[in-house]
A and B are shown apart, each in its own frame.
Chain A
């Protein structure tokens, strides 16, 4: 079959851009925030990624001008030739692409329910550093209460009833990765939070020993530390917040 010059050049372009698509590129601040769950999921899936850290207002305005941010917001992830925004959409894409989203509609429904629960818990912690000291005290009590009275009992029971190593099906899914992220985040605030949840303790040990996750938990990985003062200052500067 003969190709015209135009056709073969278009084919070359397509091959070149799919090769160049290469590693996902994450655009965010140099800190956890909303991007951290994405780092976790890519790491768990064994996907290498690169990061561009927002440090100045100019960088952010350039992204806006280039039309890279559909709703003017980050996280933004360049992946497979697309500029994706909205954390949940990005996570759903990565999960489905890398076989972390269950095997059918019903497993996906369970995963969706579980990740929405852990998302709510993570969000309580994600904003913690923005509060005043008195508000932080109240928030800490709320985090502890929600973790031990609402969320962890549910996942403890799921592990008990399900009887396998994972929350859904019989292999690692997005639900497990987000739960381990949530557990570690809560433990940073309340170190004894798993004391009444033996199955979650086992889960934590097991999941943390999965090679890709173990690697992510080691120093030098792209995992980010909890937010500090300079993180807050940078975010405010980039977004022109007082």
Chain B
């Protein structure tokens, strides 16, 4: 029994990727169990491991945690990535991560949308990134002037934003062209040792979802998972 957090999810990004990012940024080593068959998933449910019959599941500090936000908040709180007081936590960090979560959610559900929707939705996502989200964070960086989104040290908000930036850039490499401060932010945060390590090949960072990943998830969950934006 190691003390390391144990992550149970599909072998791909999905909702677990933000958890991998945050643990990595905090310098916390973790183990992973990959769901490959429906039987594995049903066994987790039978064993009572999944509070709401859903993954992500993270075994951490004696708790079987579910619900991505709850997991991320716990890790942030535990590893000093959640600001120094209530104001930093709620007004800034929680608000900022909700924005990046909305943006990343659009991308993570894209492979599961109806084919017609996929083609229409990608330009909408890029548009939202350029007109709604990135301008907001560019302005925060401009006004705050500390190199981080909140306070004067790395927080969950910075890690989450970097993850979102890289995700959107995979879809449109020019997306940061009008945002010089975000470009600087991206370089700086990417070069922080724990994050630099996570960005190297061989880390536990997962690649973009492919058809095989989508097929595996749908086979295991057997839910109609069509999302529209």
Contact = CB atoms under 8 A, between A and B. Distances in A.
Contact of A96 (B63, B70, B90, B95): B90
B94 A113 contact: no
A89 B98 contact: yes
Given A85-B95, A108-B77, A150-B53, A97 B63 contact: no
Contacts of A108: 73-74, 77
Contacts of A89: 90-91, 94-95, 98
Contacts, number: 76
Given A71-B136, A117-B67, A154-B52, A93 B99 contact: no
Interface centre among B65, B70, B78, B89 (most CB of A within 10 A): B70
B136 to A, nearest CB: 5
Given A109-B73, A117-B51, A70 B90 contact: no
Interface residues of B, number: 28
A81 B170 CA distance: 39
B66 interface: yes
A30 to B, nearest CB: 24
B99 A113 contact: no
A105 B52 CA distance: 21
A105 B77 contact: yes
A84 interface: yes
- Nearest 9 CB-CB pairs, A to B? A112-B70, A93-B90, A89-B94, A116-B67, A86-B98, A89-B95, A113-B70, A109-B74, A86-B95
7 contacts: A82-B91, A92-B90, A105-B78, A108-B77, A109-B63, A117-B52, A154-B51
Nearest to A70: B136
Q: How many A residues are at the interface, by size bracket?
A: 20 to 34
B197 to A, nearest CB: 26
B205 interface: no
A72 B132 contact: yes
Interface in A130-173: 150-151, 154
A242 interface: no
Task: Pick from B63, B68, B86, B94 the residue with the most CB of A within 10 Å.
Answer: B94
A70, A97, A106, A154 — which one has the most chain B CB atoms within 10 A of its CB? A70
Given A113-B70, A117-B51, A92 B77 contact: no
B38 interface: no
A23 interface: no
A93 B86 contact: yes
Of residues A88, A89, A150, which shows the largest number of chain B Cβ atoms within 10 Å of its Cβ? A89
A96 B90 CA distance: 9
Interface in B57-92: 61, 63, 65-70, 73-74, 77-78, 86-87, 89-91
B213 interface: no
Contacts of A96: 86, 89-90
Interface in A24-79: 70-72
A71 B52 contact: no
A88 B98 contact: yes
B179 to A, nearest CB: 16
Contact of A112 (B73, B78, B136): B73
B73 to A, nearest CB: 5
A110 to B, nearest CB: 8
Contacts of A70: 95, 99, 136
Contact of A106 (B63, B87, B94): B63
A88 B94 CA distance: 8
A132 B15 CA distance: 30
Contact of B69 (A72, A84, A116): A116
Interface string B83-126: 00011011100110011001000000000000000000000000
Given A105-B77, A105-B78, A113 B95 contact: no
